[in-house]
Amino acid sequence: MKEIEGRDYILIPERDLGVHEECGIIGIYSPEKKPLAREIYFGLFALQHRGQESAGIACSYNANKIAYYKNMGLVSEVFHDEEIALLPETKTAIGHVRYAAGGTSNVINAQPVVFFGRYGRMAVAHNGNVINAREIRNEMIKKGHIFQSSRDVEVIASLMNDVGEDNMEDGIYEACKKLKGAFSMVILAANKLIAIRDPRGFRPLVMGEKDGSIVFASESCALDALDAKLVRDVKAGEVITIEPDGTMHSKMLPGAGRKPCIFELVYLARSDSTIDEVSVYDSRYECGKMLAKLYKIDADIVSGVPDSAVVAGRGYSVASGIPYVDALSKNRYVGRTFIQPSQSQRESSVKIKLNAFKSNIRGKRLILIDDSIVRGTTSKKIISLLRASGATEVHMVVASPIVKYPCYFGVDMDTRDQLIGGYRNADEICKIIGADSLHYVPLDCLVKACGGIDYCTGCFNEDYSVDVSDICDEKGILSRACCDIEFECEE
Ligand code: SF4
C-alpha cells in the first residue's frame, strides 16, 4: 500500500483477484446484408467483463468466404473505425472476447477461429472448457490432424471436420456428441448461423430478436446494448441453426439436463443480465438479505466490494437496517483484471487499484460483503487497507460458500491447494485474512437466492454434474510459437 495525494491505494497482483471467466461470445443473423461488424462490436463491448485478453469478429462474405479480424487487447483497442470498415456487409457475423484461463496468451489463441474443411469455410467462437479436449486432440494427431494452437476450439473444429457426415449440421451435431464439459458456441458456415449450448448449459447463452434479426450472446446485457429483445435462453444441449432465409430449427444433444454454473450469478455475469430466467441482480440482492438474517453483526456500516458484491451489500443493508456506505472505490479504467494472464505477469504486475473512502469508514465498525474468497490474498489486502484507513472493526460476510475445489469448466480457479478454502476452515481463513469475524452463505441459501434451479456447485461441494474423475488438477496446456496478426478476406 502506498499513499498518493492523500489517498490510500491498494496494489494487488493480478493473480490475487479471484476467479475469471474465459470468454464472451455473440452471433447475429440479419435478413438483409448490413454492416453487422459494428453491431457485433457493440455487443462485445457489453461482454468485455468476460474477457479482456483478445477480441475478434468474423463475417460471412458469401457462402464460402469469411472475413475476420482479431487481435490482442480490449475491444476498444482491437477495433477502430478502420478495422470495422474493412469487414464486409453481411447477413451473419460472430464475435468473441477472450480471457486465457486455458491456453497461452497469444494472438494465435484469439477467436473466432476460421478454417476450411470438409464443410467449406467455417468460423467458430467458443466459451467454456472441454474436459476431454486433450484426449480428442491426441486421437486427432494420431489420425494425421495438425494443430496450430492450444485452443479447445481448434480441437472442436478438427473434430467437426473428422466425423465424416455428408451434411454439415449432422457433422457439427455428431462432433458435439463427443465433447465433454462446457461449450457454448456460435458458428458461421455456408451463410448459416449455428448456436450451441452443452448438455449441462454450464456457460450461459441467450437468444434475442430485433427487427427480424436474431442475436445470440453470452449474456442478456449484450442484447440490451443492441436494443434487442430477450427471447429466451438457448436450452442446455440445444443446437439451433438459422438458415440463410431466416428459417430456424433446433435439435437436442443426447443426455441434456440443465445444470448451469452458479458462479455466473455469484460473480462472473454482469448484474444487469438475466441467466436461465434468473435476474443476476435479484439473486445477489436476495443473497445479501439472507446473509443479514443469518448473521446479525453489531456494526455501524455495511459496504460491498466493488463491483460484483455491491448489490449483495445493499441487500444486507436493507434487511439489517445498517446503513450502506461506499467503503472502497475502484478505478474503472484498469479493466477487470488479468489482461496479461501469464503466471509471471500475474505474480509481478500490479493490475488493479482500489482506494478507501476514509471519511466514510474512519472510526466505524464495518461489515464488508464480498462475492467470494478464492485465494484469500485480495481479502487480506483489502481488510488491511480498510483498517489502515480508519475502520475499527472489519467483519467479512461472503455471498458464496467456501470455495474448496477447482473448476474444470471454464472458470480460472486453479488447483485445490491454491484455494484458501481447499484445506482450511472458516476460522482459519478468518485469521489469515485478518478479519474480526468471517461468515459464508450456506449453499442451500445461495441456490435459493439464485432461483432454486439445479446448478453446478462443484467448486463448493464437488458436485460437478459430469464425471471429472479422470481429470487431474492441472490440465495439460500445449505451448506454441507466436503468430502474426491476422487479417484476411479468405478465398
Ligand atoms: S465448478 Fe464452480 S465455477 Fe465451475 S462450473 Fe461449477 S459452479 Fe461454476
Positive or negative: CA dihedral 397, 401, 407, 411: negative
Distance from the Cα of residue 389 to its chain's centroid: 33
What DSSP line would sit under 161-191, residue for residue? HHS--SSHHHHHHHHHHH--B--EEEEEETT
Q: What pLDDT is stored for residue 415 in this prediction?
A: 79
Among 131, 263, 466, 473, residue to substitute to test ligand 1 (most atoms within 8 Å of Cβ): 263
Instruction: Work out the burial of residue 135: count CB atoms within 10 Å of its CB; fewer than 13 is exposed, 13-18 middle, 19 or more buried.
Output: middle
Domain ranges, ordered by start, for the chain: 23-258, 273-461
Report CA(166)–ligand 1 centroid distance (Å). Answer: 36
DSSP 396: E
Q: What pLDDT is stored for residue 52 in this prediction?
A: 87
**Positions marked catalytic:** 23
Instruction: Work out the burial of residue 427: count CB atoms within 10 Å of its CB; fewer than 13 is exposed, 13-18 middle, 19 or more buried.
Output: exposed
Q: What pLDDT is stored for residue 147 in this prediction?
A: 87
Q: Which residues line ligand 1 (CB under 6 A)?
A: 202, 261-263, 407, 409, 411, 456-459, 464
Distance from the Cα of residue 117 to its chain's centroid: 29
Closest atom of ligand 1 relative to the 405 alpha carbon: 1
Q: What pLDDT is stored for residue 352 in this prediction?
A: 59
Among 131, 407, 416, residue to substitute to test ligand 1 (most atoms within 8 Å of Cβ): 407
Give exposure, 83-102, as e/b (b: 16+ Cβ within 10 Å): beeebbebbbbbbbbbbbbb
Element spanning 367, H or E: strand 365-370
Atom 8 in ligand 1: residue holding the nearest Cα = 261
What DSSP line would sit under 47-87, residue for residue? TGGG--SEEEEEEEEETTEEEEEEEES-HHHH--HHHHHHS
Closest atom of ligand 1 relative to the 262 alpha carbon: 7
Q: What pLDDT is stored for residue 303 in this prediction?
A: 98
Report CA(69)–ligand 1 centroid distance (Å). Answer: 31
What DSSP line would sit under 318-331, residue for residue? HHH-PPB---EEE-
Number of neighbours of residue 367 by Cβ within 10 angstroms: 31
**Percentages (nearest 5) of helix, strand, coil residues in the chain:** 30, 30, 40
Of 133, 232, 236, nearest in space to 465 by CA:
236
C-alpha torsion angle, residues 124, 214, 258, 250 (rounded to 10): -80
For residue 431, list its beta bridge partners: none
Which pTM value belongs to this model?
A: 0.88
First-to-last C-alpha distance (Å) of the chain: 55
Those residues with Cβ within 8 angstroms of residue 18's Cβ, 6 or more apart along the chain or in another chain: 267, 372, 374, 375, 378
Question: Per CATH, which fold does 273-461 belong to?
Answer: Rossmann fold (3.40.50)
Report CA(190)–ligand 1 centroid distance (Å). Answer: 34
Does the domain spanning 23-258 belong to CATH 3.60.20.10?
A: yes
Report CA(262)–ligand 1 centroid distance (Å). Answer: 6
Peptide bond into 162 cis (omega under 30): no
Peptide bond into 401 cis (omega under 30): no
Given a contact cutoff of 8 angstroms between Cβ atoms, the answer to whether 46 and 221 are in contact is: yes
Please tell me whether residue 357 adopts helix, strand or coil conformation.
Answer: coil
The residues of the chain scoring below 70 in pLDDT are 1-22, 100-105, 150, 332-353, 414, 470-491
Alpha carbons 191 and 196: distance in angstroms, whole number: 16
Atom 4 in ligand 1: residue holding the nearest Cα = 407
Report CA(410)–ligand 1 centroid distance (Å). Answer: 8
Closest atom of ligand 1 relative to the 260 alpha carbon: 5
- Rounded to 5°, angle at Cα 196 from 193 and 202: 150
Atom 2 in ligand 1: residue holding the nearest Cα = 459
Closest atom of ligand 1 relative to the 465 alpha carbon: 6
Q: What pLDDT is stored for residue 105 in this prediction?
A: 63
Residue pLDDT, tens place only, 119-160 = 899 999 999 999 999 899 999 999 998 888 767 888 998 898
Q: What pLDDT is stored for residue 317 in this prediction?
A: 98
